[in-house]
Amino acid sequence: MKRNLFNWQRFFTIIKKEFIQVKRDPISLRIPIVMPIIMMFLFGYAVNTEIEHIPSAVFDQSKTQESREYIEKFTASDYFIIKYYVSSEKELSELMDKGKVKAGLIIPASYSTDLSRNLIPQTQLIIDGTDPTTARTAMNSSMLISEVYSKNLKEIEIKKLGTSIASLPGVSLNSKVWYNPNLESSRFTVPGLVGIILQNITIMLTAFALVREKERGTIEQLIVTPIRPIELILGKLIPYIFIGYGGFLFSLSICIFWFGVYPEGNIVLLLVLGFLFVISSLSIGMLISTFANNQLQAMMVMIIVILPSILLSGFIFPMEAMPKAISVLGYILPVTYFLDIIRGIMLKGVGFDFLVHDIIALVLFTIFLLSIATLRFNKSLD
């Protein structure tokens, strides 16, 4: 008797069957179209983390031409509206207690003298942290404003002194603000959403497809045939690679053509890494299917995976802002690395060199997940 390790006819027979089932299933085919549309518009518009016109108070102890110039930069930015000029820190804290202002700028008395002595003046911004989103915007934008301002000052200085820029201390800008200087939240959210959608579609459809055979008992009839687990797994998964990747391309097009977030970097690299991420999500879906006996159970296990992937991956809250113990959880999710990659390529335009750590992490995760999923799946067929 002829024994092949892999029988292509059986493999293609399964792919064909799976495609017919997908075609007849009203959900499988609609998800990759409906989910990107709903999620992109929901998150792209409704969840707007953009904040402008933060009511602020100023405590100017310097009261000089230079300090007024500095304050002007703040008002010009649109992020801050100076509602009060106060004359003591106590007054400022009262305003903040009452919620009249969300930010307070304190300029030291030594501001202009420090500048003239080429020292860096220590201004202070006090932020009401009860609303973290406002606080984050306030912090980021104030940092940008000050740094751009000090850079300008330095350039004036350079012209005066006739020296080169290298001899002066470098200016380090907060990167998130730098790459998205208008702090448009959709620019930040939408590419991340492409990653989240790709993940959710693939996990869901894969887990459902695999659990369905168990739930309906069709797996029993399959086990008595000479089919090999590897043919079954690969044959069943290939249609969902297509669908998951289709959903990725579709949501990426919405991101580019509707939201106008054009990729700054290499789109080919993004398309290749997107494929890698489909495979890693697929493995997660497979793994979930080994823990569930029916689609309802699969759905519940899925929530355990999908919820943290939205909350802990840096999709909404930056990883840096999370408590250490929680951000560690984020780093065991493949989506965290893919979000870095897609934002890096879409917004920063960085290439392979800069993303190499994320890429390595994603590759390792994919290999790891795929192996344990295959092992567990083989066992569960027993």
**Residue 13 or 297: which CB sits closer to other proteins?**
13
- Within 279-308, the residues that bind other proteins by CB under 8 A are none
Query: Interface with other proteins includes 6 (CB under 8 A)?
Result: no
Closest to other proteins by CB, 172 vs 221, is: 221
DSSP 13: H
* Structure-block tokens of residue 295: 């689609």
Question: Tokens 């207690």 sit at which residue?
Answer: 97
What distance in Å separates the CA atoms of residue 286 and residue 233, rounded to the nearest whole number?
A: 9
Biggest CA pair distance of the chain: 96
Q: Phi/psi class of residue 167: alpha, beta or left (left: φ > 0; alpha: ψ in -120 to 50)?
A: alpha
**Residues in contact with 235: Cβ distance below 8 Å, sequence separation at least 6, in sequence order:** 10, 11, 12, 13, 14, 15, 18
What is the CA 192 to chain-centroid distance, rounded? 4
CA 81 – CA 84 distance, rounded (Å): 9
Name the residue nearer to other proteins (CB basis): 17 or 63: 17
Please tell me whether residue 83 binds other proteins under the rule CB under 8 A. Answer: no
CB closer to other proteins out of 153 and 219: 219
Q: Which is nearer to other proteins, 90 or 216 (CB)?
A: 216
- For other proteins, the binding residue among 9, 116, 164, 175 (CB under 8 A) is 9
99 near 57, Cβ under 8 Å? Answer: no
CA-based nearest residue to 56, from 86, 26, 21: 86
What letter would DSSP give residue 6?
A: S
Q: Interacting stretch for other proteins, rule CB under 8 A, among 219-227, 253-261, 273-281, 296-304?
A: 219-227
- The least CB distance from residue 218 to other proteins, in Å, is 5
Element (H, E) at 262: none
The residue within the footprint of other proteins, chosen from 69, 78, 97, 220 (CB under 8 A), is: 220
User: Quick one: which of 12, 85, 178, 368 contacts other proteins (CB under 8 A)?
Assistant: 12
CB 154 within 8 A of CB 171: yes
Report how far residue 284's alpha carbon sits from residue 199's, in angstroms, rounded to the nearest whole number: 9
Residue 26 touches other proteins, criterion: CB under 8 A: no
Q: How far is the CB of 238 from other proteins (least distance, A)?
A: 15
Residue 320 sits in the site that holds other proteins (CB under 8 A): no
Place of tokens 């497979």: 286
Residues 353-382 that bind other proteins (CB under 8 A): 382
| Candidate residues 122, 152, 218, 294; the one interacting with other proteins per rule CB under 8 A | 218
Using rule CB under 8 A, residue 172 touches other proteins? no
Number of residues that bind other proteins (CB under 8 A): 27
Contact letters for other proteins, residues 222-261 (x by CB under 8 A): xxxxxx----------------------------------
Is residue 240 within 8 Å of 209, Cβ to Cβ? yes
The Cα–Cα gap between 270 and 341 comes to 8
Q: Does 7 bind other proteins (CB under 8 A)?
A: yes
Closest approach of other proteins to the CB of residue 1, in Å: 7
Q: Give contact residues for other proteins (rule: CB under 8 A).
A: 1, 3, 7, 9-10, 12-14, 16-17, 20-21, 24-25, 216-227, 382
